[in-house]
Amino acid sequence: MTTSTTLHRRVSYRFSWVGMIGFTIILFWAVIALLAPHIIPYPVGEIIDEDYFGPISSKLLLGSDYLGRDMFSRIIMGARYTVGISLAAVCLACFSGAALGMAAAVIGGWFDTLLSRLLDALNSIPSKLSGLVVAAAVGSSLPVLILMLAVIYTPGAYRFARSLAVNINTMDYITVARTRGEGIPYVVFSEILPNITGPLLADFGIRFVFVVLLLSGLSFLGLGVQPPYADWGALVHENIGGLPFGAPAVIVPSLAIASLTISVNLLIDNLPKKIRDRSR
Amino acid sequence: MVPAISNFSGKETLLRTYVLGLIANRLGSSALTLLIVSFAVFFATAMLPGDTATILLGQAATPEAVAGLRAAMHLDEPALLRFGRWLFGLLQGDLGISYVNNVPVADLIGARFVNTMRLAGIVTLFAVPLSLTLGITAAMFRGSVYDRVVTVLTIGIISVPEFMIATSAVLLFSVYLKWLPALSFANDVTSFWQVLRIYAMPVITLTFVVSAQMIRMTRAAVIDTINTPYVEAAILKGASRWRAVLLHALPNAVGPIANAIALALSYLVGGVIIVETIFNYPGVAKLMVDGVSTRDLPLIQSCAIIFCVGYLTLITFADIVAILANPRVR
């Protein structure tokens, strides 16, 4: 997605320091999401401050929300939903997209044409719109959210994987494998996949950012993660009333989202050249 | 479409037919896409768990009443027939009747459509000159501190959710600077000054969202042109950087830039949904988000189709511009 030219790149597996910063922040949020229940100082549902939209203090590290609940605890628990749902969805999307894309490239013919046409059409529905339509029709429970996000981002993953696989598919060793009588699963997973893993991983990261942004956007509209659970977008939605006071309850969740998405972008942009060069 | 003029050479007429063919092909593919999209929208909403008639009448309704309403709404017909009926209605401008307040959906959308288009128009008016200036100058001074700042800022804006840009704008302009009203969208508009104040925040937010994309794409398009041998030749010949870019590179980058503008404007579709909601702006997107919370399906379907048509139009336009701008087929 982003091809910044601001940083010098070395042709090796060494990371630049900007990439390392991105990686560290991602790791930080991953650890927080995993250990969340052990870190939080107060239960997320408990009202502990008489004041709503309380300021940052030594007792409440990030102030209190619109009901007087501890924001610090809620953001830490929110990491679980934002990171967890997005990760599950992007894994599903990239796995199905890549599998279908490689299969389409290898099989070709009407299978390829039909699938490409259909998925391209689905791709031309703006993502937020699909989210709204599904939320209206089926509601937004966590499994529905994950599945919906996965379906929305499968066409993009498909198109990307297919375009890479089509190039590999013309190589001699593929012809050799086919002449040998290997089946399609073997060609896809043993001949094509190992040659496009790097770019697919970079694409995975970019798509993860898209998923986080869409999930946060939907939650912000009140149509994503529903109470009593709250991801970072839902936290902004709940506390939007604190905006005129500049309450930390509405600013900090946004910053959390930004730190995660910007870090992933930084990491992808500064991936070692050996991993990403084939993806451009 | 264009009548062949007799003094055209055979080759040019052939090229023209070829280009028209490409464009017709692109339009046809868009029409097919739109058909698949409307199919998807209809079936996503038709797969409701629970029966629409029961939902409308409530749990206490008698089975006879539910059956009656089902028949009246054609809900007992096969889904494919209902899809056909719905699509045929859409083509004739019949958007159906709102479940919630029994008003034709077209009446609900009418005035709000104008509002949304006005917002989009104003944003375009600001975003295009701004993005072109920043994108072209960043490309000219590629690698400079100025270019780096522009690049980092645009990547930053693209990486964060739209609502964060909106809330940041509110924090900056109304909480700290106190220049503009916060989240309220006043209805008593009397003076031009008030109109300006009301539109300021939504326009600022959307301009940021759209411009970030537009600047990136414009910069990339111009850099592609600057990297060509003939621009290098112009510089070697002694042309200044301004002259080389403005007179030599830009004329050939017009196509890609127009393509970038149309593509970036398609980000308006996602942006207005957030912006109209947060600023309580009376547009189609706000209507749709409200419709989602009341599960007003005919309203949601119509709004979704409107946005899809808008989005597809921009994407198709971008592709057609790209076809026309390609010097090999022009």
CB neighbours of A166 closer than 8 A, spacing ≥ 6? A105
**Is residue A69 a part of any domain in this protein?**
yes
Question: How many domains are contained in chain A?
Answer: 1
B279: tokens are 């600023």
Among the partner residues B142, B297, B307, nearest to A136 by beta-carbon distance: B297
Q: Which residue of B has its CA nearest to A216?
A: B161
| Average pLDDT estimate for B246-275 | 86
Whether A6 maps to a domain, the answer reads no
Report yes or no for ipTM above 0.95: no
Look at A126 and B311 and tell me if their CB atoms are within 8 Å.
yes
Query: What residues form DSSP beta bridges with A70?
Result: A64
B142: nearest CA partner in chain A: A5
Chain A interface mutation, best of B25, B39, B159, highest count of A Cβ atoms under 10 Å: B159
* Residue of B48, B170, B274 lying closest to A137 (CB–CB): B48
Residue B96, sorted as left (phi over 0), alpha (psi -120 to 50) or beta, turns out to be: left
- How many other CB atoms are found less than 10 A from the CB of residue B47? 11
Flag if A129 and B307 touch (Cβ within 8 Å). Answer: yes
Band of the pLDDT at A2, cuts 50, 70, 90?
very low
Domain boundaries, position A237: 12-275
Q: How many CB atoms lie within 10 A of CB A80?
A: 17
Instruction: Read off the pLDDT of residues A257-271 as tens digits, 9 standing for 90 and up.
Output: 999 999 998 888 887
Q: Give residues with Cβ within 8 angstroms of B243, minimum separation 6.
A: B234
Contacts of A122 in chain B (CB under 8 A): 36-37, 40
Please list the helix, strand and coil fractions of chain A in percent, rounded to the nearest 5, in that order.
Answer: 70, 0, 25
The residue written with tokens 């991953």 in the block is A30
User: Chain B residue closest to A245 (CA)?
Assistant: B175
The DSSP bridge partners found for residue A64 are: A70
| Buried b / exposed e along A142-178 (16+ C-beta atoms within 10 A) | beebbbbbbbbbbbbbbbbbbebbbebbeeeebeebb
How far A181 CA lies from chain B's nearest CA (Å)?
Answer: 37
Residue B176 is given by DSSP the state: I
- Residue in B175, B300, B308 nearest the CB of A244: B175
Per-window interface: A 105-164 vs B, CB < 8 A = 117-118, 120-122, 124-130, 132-138
| Residue at A256 is within a domain | yes
Please give, one letter per residue, the 3-state secondary structure of B28-88.
HHHHHHHHHHHHHHHHHHHCCCCCHHHHHHCCCCCHHHHHHHHHHCCCCCCHHHHHHHHHH
Which of A121, A122, A137 is the closest to B47 by Cβ?
A137
Contact in structure between A212 and A82 (CB atoms under 8 Å): yes
pLDDT digits (tens, 9 = 90+) for B36-67: 888 888 887 776 655 666 666 666 677 777 77
> Both tokens of residue A177?
């494998």
pLDDT interval class at B208 (50, 70, 90): very high
pLDDT of residue B9: 57
Q: Region of B58 please: left (phi>0), alpha (psi -120 to 50) or beta.
A: left
pLDDT of A85 above 90: yes
Q: Among A2, A124, A209, whose Cβ lies nearest the Cβ of B311?
A: A124
Minimum-distance CB partner of A250 among B167, B277, B293? B167
For B266, nearest residue in chain A (alpha carbons): A126
Residues B219-231, mean pLDDT to the nearest whole number: 88
Do the beta carbons of residue B135 and residue B215 sit within 8 Å? yes
Is residue A221, in this structure, part of any structural domain at all? yes
pLDDT per residue over A141-156, tens digit each? 899 999 999 999 999 9
Q: Residue A254: its chain B contacts at CB < 8 A?
A: 160-161, 163-164, 167-168
- Is it the case that residue A88 has pLDDT exceeding 90? yes
Q: What is the CATH number of the domain that holds A66?
A: 1.10.3720.10
Let me know if residue A2 belongs to a domain.
no
Q: What's chain B's average pLDDT?
A: 82
Scored b (16 or more CB within 10 A) or e, A54-78 reads beeeeebbbbbbeebbbbbbbbbbb
Cβ-based contacts of A240 with chain B (< 8 Å): 167, 183, 278
C-alpha torsion sign, points A104, A106, A107, A108: positive
Closest approach of chain A CAs to the CA of B139, in angstroms? Answer: 11
Please list the alpha-helical segments (H only) found in B94-191: 105-140, 145-159, 162-170
The answer to whether residue A3 is domain-embedded is no
Query: Within a domain: residue A5?
Result: no
**Which of B163, B304, B311 lies nearest to residue A220, judging by beta carbons?**
B163
| pLDDT surpasses 60 at B171 | yes
Helices B192-226 and B145-159: crossing angle in degrees, nearest 10, is: 120
Q: Which residues pair with A69 in a beta bridge?
A: A47
Q: Which tens digit of pLDDT belongs to each residue from A157-200?
A: 999 999 999 988 888 888 899 899 888 889 888 889 998 888 89
Closest residue of chain A to B312, computed from CA coordinates = A124
Confidence of residue A9 (pLDDT cuts 50, 70, 90): very low
Comparing A92-96, A164-168, B31-35, B59-63, the range with the smallest average pLDDT is B59-63
The radius of gyration of chain B from alpha carbons, rounded to an integer in Å, stands at 25
Take residue B152 and report the two structure tokens written for it.
């980092």
Give me the amino acid identity at A27. L
Cross-chain Cβ contact A136/B47 below 8 Å: no
Contact A68, A49 (CB under 8 A): yes
* Closest chain A residue by Cα to residue B52: A137
What does the pLDDT read at residue A279? 42
DSSP state of A278: G
- Model confidence at B327, pLDDT cuts 50, 70, 90, reads low
Cα–Cα distance measured from residue A122 to residue A269, given in angstroms and rounded to the nearest whole number: 28
What integer pLDDT is reported at residue B4 of this predicted model? 46
CB atoms inside a 10 Å sphere around CB A4: 16
- Is the pLDDT reported for residue B227 higher than 70? yes
Answer whether A86 touches B (CB < 8 Å).
no
Residues in chain B closer than 8 A to A119 (CB atoms) = none
DSSP designation for B104: B
Q: Which of A208, A106, A250 minimizes the C-alpha distance to B182?
A: A250
How many other β-carbons are positioned within 10 Å of the β-carbon of residue B300?
Answer: 28
Would residue A4 count as lying in a domain? no
